Every structure is written in structure tokens, then in C-alpha cells.
Amino acid sequence: MKIISSVSEMQAFAEELRRSGKRIGLVPTMGYLHEGHLSLIRRAREVSDAVIVSIFVNPTQFAPNEDFERYPRDIERDTSLLHSEGVTILFTPSVEEMYPAGFSTYVVPESISSILEGKFRPAHFRGVATIVAKLFLIAHPHAAMFGQKDAQQSIIIKRMVRDLNFDTQIIVAPIMREKDGLAKSSRNIYLSPGERNDAAILFQSLNKAEEMIHKGEASAAVIIKEVEKIIHTKKTAVIDYVAVNDAESLAEIAEIQKGKSILVSLAARFGKTRLIDNIIVQQ
Ligand code: AMP
């Protein structure tokens, strides 16, 4: 596995891979890798000849009051994991390499970035879209893998690819979970043992939403109320939002119609740790 930290070297290597007819798969991450990331890497290996994994904790997607500084990092462990996964290139640029002095050009997704996560993290998707656009221009991948875990992010990236004519195929892979259903996340290590136990309620509440929809409950308000009630059985949980949206357009839904894919998504805080999760239900 080759480790590259310079943008120009990464660009040159990617173009070399393309010239030799190799299909490039990119997996953008912030590191502290877990099974969720590894599932994206395995998917990338299936659809490409050369897999590039980027590890970059992107400062522009964190608000000043968020956890950029304390975000977990373990590059040695990550490097050995990627090595055993047969990754071709690990791209780990520094903040200065990605955001040189005087950096002033951003990709700003509109409308769908101001709802759900965007409401609670106003500049978040500007940071995400900007870094992903930069990574696409640096690694020039044929395909890039994203997790359903960040449902709104995947939709925004797909929209950006369409709107700005990137020639990268976006593949969205399912959510990897712990045994009790908690979605794998680098941030789970922040949880105290009590909070960790309580956090399993999120997936249980989403399962209940799915069951209600399958049984014919059409009112989003009724479903949201029930999900909130279930989460509130855990004392450490503070809900940011529970929402029901069209899984493709993210349009808000009041009455669920047959034949639609429904995204039930939520964010909740356990102590200082903010977790997100979601489920897509085919009605
Ligand atoms: P992150 O390192 O948290 O920025 O995540 C990098 C990529 O991994 C994103 O596309 C995430 O959606 C994806 N990802 C994170 N957690 C999971 C998970 N539990 N299952 C599947 N994909 C995930």
C-alpha cells in the first residue's frame, strides 16, 4: 500500500492509474476506522481495480463548538487495517495541504442542506461538499463509496455530482451495526458505559417506525411521536430531531403514500455525544 500526503503526488498517481486502464474506487473517511468503513472499502474493491482511501478530519465541516480537536485519531491502527484490506493508496493530507493559506472557494449545497442535519449544523454540508469535490478532483475516481449512515450527505453528494457534472459514480452502502443495533461510528467511543447501553434505543425506535409503516400507519406525526416516546424511555437521551422524509428527494412527508421509499432519520445526544441514525422503509 502506498501512502501519499501530497495533493500533486496523489493527482499524478491517479492519472497514471487511469492511463494504465485501472478503474479507481475512492472511499473518503475521517479515519478511526470501523466495520462501517471496511464495508465501503470491500465494496470499492468489488467495483474497482485500485482502491484509494482518504483519511482527513475535515475542519470545515465542524462548527467551532463541535469536536474537531478531540475527534478520535489513530493513524497507525488505521494504516495496518487498510494494509490488510488490500487498499492501493492511503491518502492522508495535512490541513495545510488541503486548505492552503488564503483558501476561499467553497461548494455550497442549497435547499436540501438546510433541513435535518443542516438545521443543527449550519455550515456542515458546505464543508462536506467542498472536501468531497476536492477529493474527486484530486483522486479522480470512477466510483466513490458513501454510507447510508449519513443519509442526507449521500443525497447531497449525488446532487452535487449531477449539478457540477463530476464523472464519478456514487455508490451508497448499508449501515453496519453493533450486535445490539447501534450504528457503528467513530464517535461511539465517547459514550460512557451507561450512555452506550442507552444508545441502542435509537435502532429499536427506528424498528418500531418501520413496523408501524408496514402495518399501514400513514401519519408521519404519529410515527415521529412514537419514536420520540421510545427514545425518551432512556434518561440520558436528548433528541435533536426525528423526521420522516422522501428517501430520494428528502421532501418532508406528512402522509405516507404507497410505493414510496421513506427515510426515517434522527439525531440524539447522549451526554456530550451526538449520534445520528436512520432507516429506509419501502412502503
Ligand atoms: P466518517 O469517517 O465518519 O466521515 O465516515 C466515512 C464514510 O463511512 C461515510 O460515507 C459514512 O457514511 C460511512 N459510514 C460511517 N459509519 C458507517 C456505518 N456504520 N455503516 C456504513 N457506513 C458508515
Query: What ranges do the domains of the chain cover?
Result: 2-173, 186-278
Model confidence at 177: pLDDT above 90: yes
Is 185 within 8 Å of 132 (Cβ atoms)? no
Topology (CATH) of 2-173? Rossmann fold (3.40.50)
| Portion of the chain with pLDDT greater than 70, in percent | 100
* pLDDT, tens only, 137-155: 999 999 999 999 999 999 9
The three-state (H, E, C) secondary structure of 185-209, written as one string: CHHHHHCCHHHHHHHCHHHHHHHHH
Q: Classify strands 273-282 and 261-270 as parallel, antiparallel or unpaired.
A: antiparallel
CA pseudo-torsion sign 62, 64, 118, 281: positive
Given this chain, do its domains 2-173 and 186-278 carry the same CATH topology?
Answer: no
Is pLDDT of 201 > 80?
yes
pTM above 0.95, yes or no: yes
Q: Could you tell me the pLDDT band of residue 283, with boundaries at 50, 70 and 90?
A: confident
pLDDT for 261 equals 96
Work out which ligand 1 atom sits closest to the CA atom of 153. Answer: 12
Query: Taking 90 as the threshold, does the pLDDT of residue 222 lie above it?
Result: yes
CA 146–ligand 1 middle distance (angstroms)? 7
- Which of 62, 54, 63 is closest to 10 using CA atoms? 54
Q: What is the mean pLDDT of the chain?
A: 97
Asked about 37 being catalytic, the answer comes back as: yes
Residues in contact with ligand 1 by the CB-under-6-Å rule are: 29-30, 36-37, 39-40, 146-147, 149-150, 173, 175-176, 183-186
| Nearest-CA residue for atom 22 of ligand 1 | 147
pLDDT reported for residue 150: 98
Cβ-Cβ contacts under 8 Å for 142 (sequence gap 6 or more): 23, 24, 25, 48, 167, 168, 169
| Ligand 1 atom nearest to 147, measured from its CA | 12
**Cα–Cα distance for residue pair 142/138, rounded to 1 Å:** 12
Q: Is the pLDDT of residue 1 over 90?
A: yes
Q: What angle do CA 10, 11, 17 make, to 5 degrees?
A: 90
pLDDT at 259 over 80: yes
| Superfamily of domain covering 186-278 | Pantoate-beta-alanine ligase, C-terminal domain (3.30.1300.10)
Nearest to 3 by CA among 74, 91, 84: 91
According to DSSP, the β-strands at 2-4 and 89-91 are parallel
Q: What is the mean pLDDT of residues 1-24?
A: 98
Ligand 1: which residue has its CA nearest to atom 10? 146
Report CA-CA distances (Å) from 71 to 64, 74, 142, 170, 239. Answer: 13, 10, 30, 26, 22
Cα 277 to the center of its chain, rounded Å? 10
**pLDDT of 32 above 80:** yes
C-alpha cell at 152: 442526507
Residue 26 is predicted with a pLDDT of 99
Non-local (6+) Cβ contacts of 154 within 8 A are 146, 147, 148, 170, 172
| DSSP notation for 199-256 | HTHHHHHHHHHHHHHHTT--BHHHHHHHHHHHHTTSTTEEEEEEEEEETTT--B-SB-
Confidence band of 77 (pLDDT split at 50, 70, 90): very high
